[in-house]
Amino acid sequence: MIKKKTRRPLWQIALPILLLTAVWIMLWDDLSVLNILTGVLLALFVTRFFYLPPVELSRRFNIFWAAVFLGWFTASMISASLHVAWLAVRPKGVSAGSVISVELHTRSDLLITMVSTVIGLIPGSIVIEADRAHSVIFVHVLDCSTDDEVEAAKSQVYRIENLLIRALGSAHDITTLNTWRKELGMPPVLPTRELQRKESRR
Amino acid sequence: MIADIFSIVFMIGGALLSLAASIGLLRFPDLMSRLHAGSKPQIFGLLLMMLAIAIQIPQWGPITTVFLVMTFQMMTSPIGTHMVGRAGYRTKRLRRSMLYQDELADAVARAELRDSSHRSSRTLPKDRS
Amino acid sequence: MNGLSDELLIDPAILRIAAPILLVIFLATLVIVVIKLIRGPSILDRMIANDVFLATLLCGLGAFIAATGRVDLLPVLLAVAALGFVGSVSVSRYVSRSDTSSPVVGETRSMAQAHTLSMAQRRDQEEAQRQRSSRAGSADGPDDAEAGRPAGAETVGPLFAEEQEQS
């Protein structure tokens, strides 16, 4: 009986080791041969003996949209922090909040986690529950007492997801997103030539 | 001199954001709102402090350590907030009057309804007369 | 900070004004956090106060490092930032069962508003009906007031109305 050993691609083995070595070097504040060597050894040890199930990365990483996402995230965090700080000190105080449910288009674990983390970082929203089976997350929004504000909060979550899918999403996520966008009459997101070819063939 | 003024401004800004966070912690009427106030402005305050450090000590070693501090804080703070929020939603201390729209409760109600109808349809004997 | 005046990175003239301001702000923050730690009605409030305490510690230590250039304190910052969340996570994981209930369907504010709106509508209808009947001069029975109720105004009552008192 021949057991076929599935070889993981090289970049999937090398990426964690590279990142862990970088963290090790940053901790030691010193770029020397000894640090690099010990970093690589420790990274190999950690990934071999404290083995986590591999995260399913999609093969895409779009630098432009990642930069757009980082810029939007920083601006949003600054403005929302100032808004929450103002809510804390203004005499009127804060009014009721609400818990909204948002159905995400992505089905991958990594993207749902990243969307939840970004929601948790931007002041004004917290993920309190997630339904993994249907990719639904429940977000508690601060000071959201009219229907307009509920709609604004939902559209903010969708914008986060949109930017992250454009930066990191797999082809399946992009196809799902495009179907949703076509229903709403928005232009589709077509990052790669392969997807454009598929789209034109349809 | 200019760098000093910038870093002092950043430091005072970070301190004021921490003060705002604690004032919000005291003033907000509801557990979930206090959770928002207590964790969110602090992240931006910490970012300002780290910028002040980076301006004052522009060497590679401290800058990378400061970058790591920021990364760790931004990775762990949403986890803590989510766990406390999840536990806080389920306690008796959740004030329903402070919630304008609660779609999680609707989803739970729907699930419970489905569950109970499922269970009752299974236990009732089929009337074939 | 007076004993380290030869190691200050920031111009001492600026620091003479800024340092008391910073100290007062941090002191006020910590006093409020300790008040919340003592007073907080539930344990989760105290864990949030704990988080705020640690984050304020990070900010204060960061300000000190920026002012005096003591880079050897940076690992403290790193340790607190990386491990400070474990306390609140572990406590919220084991919040005692007596404190919890399954999320019940209570009356949220939009439902309450719909309720009061339908009640107000019904009251207006009854008022109009009563005025019309008194103008006509005949004593109409309550069935006219019943017919006056608008067809779709179903009163939305709470399913399990559990009134949460604020302690």
Local confidence band at C162 (pLDDT 50, 70, 90 cut-offs): very low
> C126 and C74, same structural domain?
no
pLDDT greater at residue C6 or residue B102: B102
Question: Beta-carbon neighbour count of residue C46 at 10 Å?
Answer: 17
Contact B108/C at CB under 8 A: yes
Taking contacts as CB-CB distances below 8 angstroms, the residues of chain A near B74 are 121
Residues of chain A with pLDDT > 70: what percent? 89
Report chain C's mean pLDDT, rounded to a whole number: 73
Distance CA A113, CA A59 (A): 18
Provide the residue range defining the domain that includes C122. 109-147
Among A47-56, C42-51, C63-72, name the one with the lowest average pLDDT: A47-56
* Tens digit of each residue's pLDDT (9 = 90 or more) over B43-85: 999 999 999 999 998 888 899 999 999 999 999 999 999 999 9
Residues of chain A with pLDDT > 90: what percent? 37
Q: Do A96 and C78 touch (CB under 8 A)?
A: no
Determine the angle formed by the axes of helices C43-68 and C86-93, rounding to 10 degrees. 170
Q: Is residue C152 part of a domain?
A: no
Mutation to test the B interface, candidates A95, A126, A136, A151, most B Cβ within 10 Å: A126
What is the largest distance, in Å, between two alpha-carbon atoms of chain C?
A: 99
Tell me the shortest Cα–Cα distance from B115 to chain C, in angstroms: 15
Which residues are CB-neighbours of A92 under 8 A, at least 6 positions away? none
> C54 and C7, same structural domain?
yes
Tell me the shortest Cα–Cα distance from C155 to chain B, in angstroms: 18
Q: Is residue C140 part of a domain?
A: yes
Provide the number of structural domains found in chain C.
Answer: 2
A90's tokens: 């203004």
Closest Cα to residue B11, out of B68, B65, B59, B50? B50
**DSSP one-letter code for C151:** T
> C91 and C113, same structural domain?
no
Which residues are CB-neighbours of A53 under 8 A, at least 6 positions away? none
Tell me the shortest Cα–Cα distance from B76 to chain A, in angstroms: 9
Nearest CA in chain C to A95: C109
> C64 and C26, same structural domain?
yes
Among A120-129, B94-103, C46-55, name the one with the lowest average pLDDT: B94-103
Local confidence band at A129 (pLDDT 50, 70, 90 cut-offs): confident
Local confidence band at A198 (pLDDT 50, 70, 90 cut-offs): low
pLDDT greater at residue A11 or residue C83: C83
Could you say which of B36, B37, B102 has the minimum Cβ distance to residue A98? B102
* Contact between B66 and B54 (Cβ < 8 Å): yes
* Contact between B42 and A120 (Cβ < 8 Å): no
**DSSP one-letter code for A97:** E
A129's tokens: 């529950």
Contact B96/A at CB under 8 A: no
Could you say which of A27, A117, A124 has the minimum Cβ distance to residue B36? A124
Sequence ranges of the domains in chain B: 2-94
Tell me the shortest Cα–Cα distance from B3 to chain A, in angstroms: 21
Q: Is residue C161 part of a domain?
A: no
Taking contacts as CB-CB distances below 8 angstroms, the residues of chain B near A120 are 77-79, 81-82
Mutation to test the A interface, candidates C110, C111, C164, most A Cβ within 10 Å: C110
φ and ψ at residue C109, rounded to 5 degrees: -65, -35
* Tens digit of each residue's pLDDT (9 = 90 or more) over C61-78: 999 999 888 888 999 999
